Amino acid sequence: MPRRLTLVALIIVNLSFLPSSINAQSTTDELGACLVRSSSAVDKELLTTWMFAAMTAHPSVAELMTISSVQMTEINVGVAALFTNLLAYRCETEVVTAITDGGLEAVENSFSTLGEVAMVELMSHPIVEAQIGGFTAYLDMDALSGIVPQ
């Protein structure tokens, strides 16, 4: 892979977890919309699987879940195919316009939009919502009663 293309891929991957820029340009918005519109539910599941698998490498959660190197390679291959397909085929026109108008930052911000949409879909699943809210059963309501309106 040429050096510039490798750099573009690394930048997209490293910044895909970051929130979108507040001053997003219209071409960034158009590319983000294309990425979201052109990604199936299966694509978004792959993306959230990839993000989750990557996060399991963090030392603070590594002992909770282990992703084997074979599993990580399979996930990376799938995400690479997805990113290639989105950039080179499904949203090619929007990618070219975004790079021309806003540079690589426009592409980075657009992938952040896709990542955010995928995470919202993951987090809004009823089972996930129940797990996230599970801590509330252990809140000290006496301690909070003075500051939380009834």
Q: Please give the pLDDT value at position 102.
A: 86
Q: Specify the DSSP class assigned to residue 55.
A: H
More confident residue, 61 or 144: 61
| Whether residue 46 has pLDDT greater than 90 | yes
Q: Which residues contact 30 (CB under 8 A, 6 or more apart)?
A: 94, 97, 98
Helix or strand or coil: residue 17? coil
| Whether residue 21 has pLDDT greater than 80 | no
Give the Å distances, CA to CA, from 46 to 20, 28, 52, 114.
20, 23, 10, 12
Give the Å distances, CA to CA, from 64 to 3, 60, 110, 117, 123.
36, 9, 31, 25, 19
Q: Largest Cα–Cα distance of the chain, in whole Å?
A: 61
User: Rounded mean pLDDT of the chain?
Assistant: 85
pLDDT, average across residues 97-111: 89
pLDDT, average across residues 20-25: 42
Question: Residue 147 — very low, low, confident or very high, per pLDDT cuts 50/70/90?
Answer: confident
More confident residue, 20 or 87: 87
**Model-level pTM?**
0.76
Give the Å distances, CA to CA, from 143 to 34, 51, 55, 67, 133.
48, 36, 33, 40, 19
